[in-house]
Structure 1
Amino acid sequence: MADLIITNGKHVDTSAIAEYTLDCAWGSGENDFELTVPRLIDSGAYVYLDGSECGGIVDAMEDQLTSGVSTITYSGRTWHGVLADKILEPDKGKDYLTVSGSASSVIGSLISRVRLDTVFGAVAPPDGDDPTIKTYQFDRYVDAYTGLRKMCAASGLKLRMAYASGRVNIWAGPVAHYGDSIDSDLIDFDATRTWKKPNHLIGLGKGEGAGRTVVHWYADAAGNVSQTQSLRGVDEITQVYDYSSAETAELNQKTREKLQDLQSEGDVKVTVRDDANVVFDVGDTVTARDNLTGITVNATISKKIVKVSGGVLSVDYEAE
């Protein structure tokens, strides 16, 4: 197992630790770490596994003294969490932030935009050509990590990071699709199939009472979304989408997107066991099939959890 590198508060390497306990996660909904080591660490220090995506900034510590024995646990943001704490704002006078170009130049400009270019350095993929980001429009005031991931996904890419030589290299690489190459016995899923889904969504925007902006969007039996209604009576399932800050154009866009999201056939929880002998990245896809029901699940890796204890490293994944 690789040593954990620890810097001082000025981010100069000071030590390499072999004995430590680490719980580090990144992806959807969780971008932080907890670390227990038998030494003191400066506030704001970096901790990392060299050359990997696992690491971050020390933000807090907890000291537990029990029967004269002190246990110090440090916590903080992963590199992904650092990005998640920044917001991508539109330029003054613009409704949206839009980008296009080579991935390294686009990511570099966004990193500079949120003033993290002293921490991150945008590079081309270590093992491939620099891909192209098609014209992409960010959601308004989205956090930088979510925005970068969604931007990459729109071009069939995934966001990657690795700490090396004093900075976090960041790049976009192609998504890996693991289908028949992964034994289905190593992928567990709990799938709920829903045949009848909401098919009429009423979007409520700006205004009050009779003056409030209202839009209607419909889905047909095949899940196609438009402003033409085809399902009525008992087959019509209606919901309200409240987006009180939106003007008509934005309300139409968001209501349409929301109804499209509701056309999913059901809910799926997927667990990829760490004995799959494959190292996945957030954004990669996996496939599993139940031969009894014929249900095939295609899932995207949404979270990666790295744990180190007693010199043993384990990796767990969550998918959606």
Structure 2
Amino acid sequence: MERASSALDGTAEKIQSLTVDGSGIFPLRFITAKPTGEEQGELSDSAEVDLDVGDTNDFEINTAVSEYDAKRTGYGCKIFIPGTEYGGIIGDIESNTNEEKVVIRGRTWRGMLQYKVVEPPAGQDHLVLSGELNTAIRTLIGDRFGDLMIIPEVDTGITIKSWQVDRYVTLYDALQKLVSNYGCRLQIQYVQPEGLEYGYVTVQAVPIVDYSEQLEYSQEEGIYVKVRDCRNGVNHLVCVGEGEKQDRVVLHLYVQKNGAIGKKQYYTGLNEISAVYNYSSAEADKLEEDGTKRLKELQNYKKCEMTIDNADLEIGDIVAGYDAVTNTQVIKPVIQKILKIQDGKITIDYSVKGEDE
């Protein structure tokens, strides 16, 4: 059976989201470490954690004042789940005597990459990279993080030639653009090496995993899809701008068959659904710009959510789900992970890329 695209018949695609039960994936809890790296034991049982990877790239820990220990969770201390990307460095502490709570915040390892800027070498227009991909990553990161971040000596088999790094961008953006251009993603993990009292963070390029080619689109695989297919949205927006009476600026915008916005009418008669957008102070250009945005909000859409049981996905991995009722197939890369710990239970929410991102 042919599966329908989610952007046909005047339909705009909304951002999809995934909810994943990770309680069975990570039996280990967060470990704390001194600024110098020596481990200090596990985070307290009552601590509540909210950690974002892929969007804000930060974390927040709520703990009781009676259980707060500055030696374990003070400024510069690290938290991490070994062998995963979940972790970072504490840099913001808030004490609330009224509620008898301490809120601990910091940036994740990925977040730290966002606060370094790549500049072109003196006298050159761009930093230019050539060679094996992980070697290029090593050049980009350099010694910005001392011995905290290590790029493994792993040959990806990918050779880049004269890659120009954008001027004055964050290190994170530069790395993301580089690896995605070669079909890879950034793998970031906290490593506990044997024989050392301290760990470190590895950063390297690895192939994107396309789970859409490996998993069946069925509930038997633990993938559940929730689809809302709205087909009675507005497809003709009459935009009214500045002026009076016959001199008033009027613009007609129409949804096309493929969901795009244009000035030629596609839907007519019974299929035409119209609305008015009143922006009395707008000139023609501004009216068209804002009217287009408004019509995109009002037109047909498919909103999809996927729930996946017991999975561990990474930023950049591709996932898929299928709903037979609406004949909708969702295939999207993961762009965000939110790990939460509450009452000792770990859950992970994933967001996948939407049409506008």
TM-score of the superposition, structure 2-length normalised? 0.62
**Contact 2:134–2:156 (8 Å) recurs in 1:** yes
The answer as to 2:137 corresponding to 1:107 is yes
The answer as to 2:307 corresponding to 1:273 is yes
Change (3 A) 1:65 1:319: same
How far has the Cα of 1:183 moved from its partner? Answer: 3.5
> Comparing both chains, which one has the higher relative contact order based on Cα–Cα distances under 8 Å and sequence gaps of 6 or more?
2
User: Could you say which residue in structure 2 is the equivalent of 1:152?
Assistant: 179
C-alpha offsets along residues 152-211 of structure 1, whole Å, 9 cap, x if unaligned?
A: 1111111011111321011111101111605455244567899x9xxxxxxxxxxxxxxx
Letter in 2 for 1:163: Y
- Aligned sequence identity (%): 26
User: Could you say which residue in structure 2 is the equivalent of 1:262?
Assistant: none
Provide the rounded CA distance (Å) in 2 between the counterparts of 1:299 and 1:116.
33
Change (3 A) 1:302 1:133: farther
Change (3 A) 1:190 1:75: farther
User: Could you say which residue in structure 1 is the equivalent of 2:150?
Assistant: 121
Superposition map of 1:55-74 within 5 A: 55-66=87-98, 70-74=100-104
User: Could you say which residue in structure 2 is the equivalent of 1:52?
Assistant: 84
Provide the rounded CA distance (Å) in 1 between the counterparts of 2:208 and 2:321.
18
Provide the rounded CA distance (Å) in 1 between the counterparts of 2:303 and 2:117.
30
Provide the rounded CA distance (Å) in 2 between the counterparts of 1:59 and 1:102.
35
Alignment counterpart, residue 43 of structure 1, candidates 63, 75, 80:
75
User: Could you say which residue in structure 1 is the equivalent of 2:40?
Assistant: 14
Tell me, what secondary structure is at the counterpart of 1:273? strand
Change (3 A) 1:156 1:92: same
User: Could you say which residue in structure 1 is the equivalent of 2:280?
Assistant: none
Letter in 2 for 1:23: D
Change (3 A) 1:104 1:120: same
User: Could you say which residue in structure 1 is the equivalent of 2:273?
Assistant: none
Query: What RMSD in Å do the two structures reach over aligned CA positions?
Result: 3.6
The answer as to 2:81 corresponding to 1:81 is no
C-alpha offsets along residues 109-143 of structure 1, whole Å, 9 cap, x if unaligned?
A: 11116x12422000156xxx534253433333221
Superposition map of 1:160-239 within 5 A: 160-165=187-192, 166-179=199-212, 181-183=215-217, 185-188=223-226, 234=264
C-alpha offsets along residues 279-306 of structure 1, whole Å, 9 cap, x if unaligned?
A: 1100011123344554433211000111
**Contact 1:111–1:117 (8 Å) recurs in 2:** no
How far has the Cα of 1:43 moved from its partner? Answer: 0.8
TM-score of the superposition, structure 1-length normalised? 0.69
Change (3 A) 1:315 1:274: farther
Structure with larger Rg? 2
